[in-house]
Amino acid sequence: MRKKIVAGNWKMNTLPVEGLALAKDVISSSAGVPNDVELVVIPPFTHLNEVSKLASGTRVAVGAQNCARWEKGAYTGEVSASMLKALGLKYVIVGHSERREYFGETNQHLFEKIVLAHKHDLIPIFCCGEKLQERESNTHFDVVKVQVEEALFKLDESSIKNVVIAYEPVWAIGTGKTATAEQAQEMHAYIRKLLADKYGNDVANSISILYGGSCKPSNAAEIFAKPDVDGGLIGGASLVASDFVAIAKSF
Ligand SMILES: O=C(CO)COP(=O)(O)O
């Protein structure tokens, strides 16, 4: 059965010392989280070495927010998948809508990143989701279909099984406007159907699909109760350890 995951994307927040304190808080308060829920913290690059050492041997896994689409070389400012793996990380976010929007990342770029993440034994958390205008014009299913097909469907069966998908409607990110549990379920079921049509039911049922967008302790339980929602990718609420852990306890 697929894994339940609650991952905290800290984005460009916290100084290293603050991030270390936050990670410590998450680790020390994680005891009541059900054993079958994996907790993941995803700090900025500058914190990863220290946070990874701190989390080593605990139940909290660590991920990065991005990786380069090149293996290595003259790409000033980039961080490679192999460097992340060398720090002991397990996950890397690929294709967050903020990366698509501000850094021009395309689905082809994201495919290249996923291939490199896999090559270096990292699990990509692939983000997809429509903008407000796309939902209002009722094209949200088409938009997500293209994102999933272009970035993921060149992967073979053994590779796709090693991808986590996060559905993050852009209109719900940082806005306080959460998708309803029904809207999340509807899109998650749609994504799983796309996967089933391409790779078969067994593969589709083995892939975790997380919801992201204004997820908080007050709404997590209702969203996580839906059959195709396997957890959350949490932004703002992951910056407060008690809120993040409370979300993970909502399962
Ligand atoms: O973008 C997100 C996680 O990657 C969601 O952010 P918020 O939880 O702050 O809406």
pTM: 0.98
pLDDT for 53: 98
Q: Does the annotation mark 18 as catalytic?
A: no
CA 6 to chain centre: 9
Concerning whether 96 is annotated as a catalytic residue, the answer is: yes
Judge whether 53 is annotated as a binding position: no
Pairing mode, strands 123-128 and 209-211: unpaired
Quick one: residue 88, left, alpha or beta (phi over 0 = left, psi -120 to 50 = alpha)?
Answer: left
Give 3-state DSSP helix, strand, coil % of the chain, rounded to 5. 50, 15, 35
Tokens standing for residue 160: 């796709």
Which residue stretches of the chain have pLDDT < 50? none
Ligand 1 centroid to Cα of residue 212, in Å, is 6
243 lines ligand 1 (CB under 6 A): no
> So what's the pLDDT on residue 149?
98
Choice among 47, 96, 109, 188 that is catalytic = 96
* Count of residues making up the chain: 251
Domain that holds residue 182: 4-248
Whole-number pLDDT of residue 1? 73
Domain count, the chain: 1
What atom in ligand 1 is closest to the CA of residue 96?
4
CATH of residue 178's domain is: 3.20.20.70
Q: Where are the alpha helices (DSSP H) in 80-209?
A: 81-86, 97-103, 107-119, 132-136, 140-152, 157-160, 181-199, 201-206
* Ligand 1, atom nearest to 166 Cα: 4
Q: What is the pLDDT of residues 157-171, one digit of tens each?
A: 999 999 999 999 999
10 labeled part of a ligand binding site: yes
Residue 212 marked ligand-binding: no
Q: 3-state DSSP call for residue 5?
A: strand
pLDDT tens digits for range 12-71:
999 999 999 999 999 999 999 999 999 999 999 999 999 999 999 999 999 999 999 999
Q: Which residues, other chains included, contact 246 with Cβ-Cβ below 8 Å and sequence gap of 6+? A: 217, 220
Report residue 94 as tokens: 């690929």
